[in-house]
C-alpha cells in the first residue's frame, strides 16, 4: 500500500494524554479535516481505536488508520513518537481485519444488527445460569450449553476477552474464528471450537424469560435476546497501519509465548 503523499487527518480521544499529544502534533505537522483525509492518525488506547473503526463502519467510509498509544494497553496501537510521523506512515505495514456481523432478536420481537471487530459475546443477565443452543451452518452442534456465556472472536480479538475466557490465540492469517464458552457448567469439560471464518454460527437462548441473556458486539449490548446469528463480514474489511517491526500479526503470534 503506497501511502506517500496522502492527505492525513488527526483524531484523539478525550483523555488528557491524548489531547496533549494532539496539540503537539498539530503544531508539528499539517493536517486535513477528517472528511478529506486519505489516512487517519488516531491517538488514544484500544478502546478509542475500536470506536474509530466502528464509526467508519457506521459511516460506510473506510480509511487506513495509524494509531499511536496514549492509553493503557495499546495492543492495536503503535508507539507514541512525535518525530518522523510522515515517514512512519509511508513505510507502515497494512493489516486488514474483517468484522463480525451480529444479528440479535429479542423477547419483544425487535431485531438489531451490529458489527464487532473483537468479539460477539452472550452473557447471562442474572444469577441464573444461561442455557444456550449452539448451531453451526444451520446444524445443531450443541443442543444445550449451560454456562455464564459464550463468545465468538475474530483473530484480531482472540487475545482480548477470548483469551481471558480460556480461548485460543488465532494468528491473523489463520482465517478462523474462536467459539469459546464462558464458565461452562454442562458440558463441563467443553473448551470450545476453532471454526473456518466462513462458518455461520447461531445461538438460541432456552428459557429466555427465566434465564435472560444479553448479546454484546464489542461495546454495544442488546438485552433479553432469544436468537443471535454471527457471521464474518468480509465486505467491510478495515485497514490498520503498523510500524513493520511491531505489526499486529506478529504481536498476536508472540502472545502465545507470553507468561
Residues whose CB falls within 8 Å of the CB of residue 109, separated by 6 or more in sequence, listed in order: none
Among 2, 46, 110, 249, the one annotated catalytic: 46
Whole-number Å distance between alpha carbons of 164 and 83 = 36
Q: How wide is the angle at C-alpha 9 spanned by C-alphas 6 and 15, nearest 5°?
A: 150
Q: Which residues contribute to the annotated binding site?
A: 46-47, 118-119, 148, 156, 159-164
Q: Distance from CA of residue 4 to its chain's centroid?
A: 28
What is the side-by-side order of every strand in the sheet holding 100-106?
Answer: 111-116, 100-106, 225-232, 201-206, 130-136, 139-147
Per-residue exposure over 32-48, b if at least 16 CB sit within 10 Å of its own CB, e if not: eeeeebebbbbbbbbbb
Per-residue exposure over 149-176, b if at least 16 CB sit within 10 Å of its own CB, e if not: bbbbbbbbbbbbbbbebebbbbebebeb
Taking 3-state DSSP, the helix, strand and coil percentages for the chain, each rounded to the nearest 5, stand at 25, 40, 40
Q: Which residues contribute to the annotated binding site for NAD(+)?
A: 46-47, 118-119, 148, 156, 159-164
Whole-number Å distance between alpha carbons of 38 and 6 = 6
Half-sphere exposure of 224 (CA within 13 A, CB side): 7
Q: Is 249 a catalytic residue?
A: no
Phi, psi of 87 (to 5 degrees): -70, -40
Q: Which residues pair with 202 in a beta bridge?
A: 135, 229
Whole-number Å distance between alpha carbons of 83 and 94 = 20
Active site residues: 46
Amino acid at each position: 500500500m503506497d501511502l506517500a503523499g496522502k492527505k492525513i487527518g488527526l483524531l484523539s480521544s478525550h483523555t488528557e494524554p491524548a489531547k496533549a499529544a494532539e496539540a503537539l502534533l498539530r503544531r508539528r505537522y499539517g493536517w486535513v479535516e477528517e472528511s478529506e483525509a486519505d489516512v487517519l492518525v488516531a491517538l488514544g488506547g484500544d478502546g478509542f481505536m475500536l470506536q474509530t473503526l466502528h464509526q467508519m463502519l457506521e459511516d460506510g467510509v473506510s480509511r487506513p488508520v495509524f494509531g499511536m498509544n496514549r492509553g493503557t494497553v495499546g495492543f492495536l496501537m503503535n508507539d507514541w513518537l512525535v518525530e518522523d510521523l510522515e515517514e512512519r506512515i509511508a513505510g507502515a505495514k497494512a493489516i486488514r481485519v474483517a468484522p463480525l456481523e451480529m444479528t440479535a432478536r429479542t423477547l419483544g420481537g425487535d431485531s438489531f444488527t451490529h458489527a464487532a471487530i473483537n468479539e460477539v459475546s452472550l452473557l447471562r443477565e442474572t444469577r441464573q445460569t444461561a442455557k444456550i443452543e449452539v448451531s453451526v451452518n444451520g446444524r445443531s452442534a450443541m443442543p444445550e450449553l449451560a454456562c455464564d456465556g459464550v463468545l465468538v472472536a475474530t483473530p484480531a480479538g482472540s487475545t482480548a476477552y477470548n483469551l481471558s475466557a480460556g480461548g485460543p490465540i488465532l494468528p491473523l492469517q489463520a482465517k478462523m474464528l474462536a467459539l469459546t464458552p464462558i464458565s461452562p457448567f454442562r458440558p463441563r469439560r467443553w473448551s470450545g471450537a476453532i471454526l473456518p471464518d466462513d462458518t455461520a454460527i447461531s445461538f438460541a437462548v432456552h428459557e429466555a424469560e427465566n434465564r435472560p441473556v444479553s448479546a454484546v458486539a464489542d461495546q454495544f449490548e442488546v438485552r433479553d435476546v432469544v436468537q443471535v446469528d454471527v457471521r464474518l463480514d468480509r465486505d467491510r474489511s478495515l485497514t490498520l497501519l503498523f510500524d513493520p517491526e511491531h505489526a499486529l500479526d506478529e504481536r498476536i503470534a508472540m502472545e502465545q509465548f507470553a507468561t
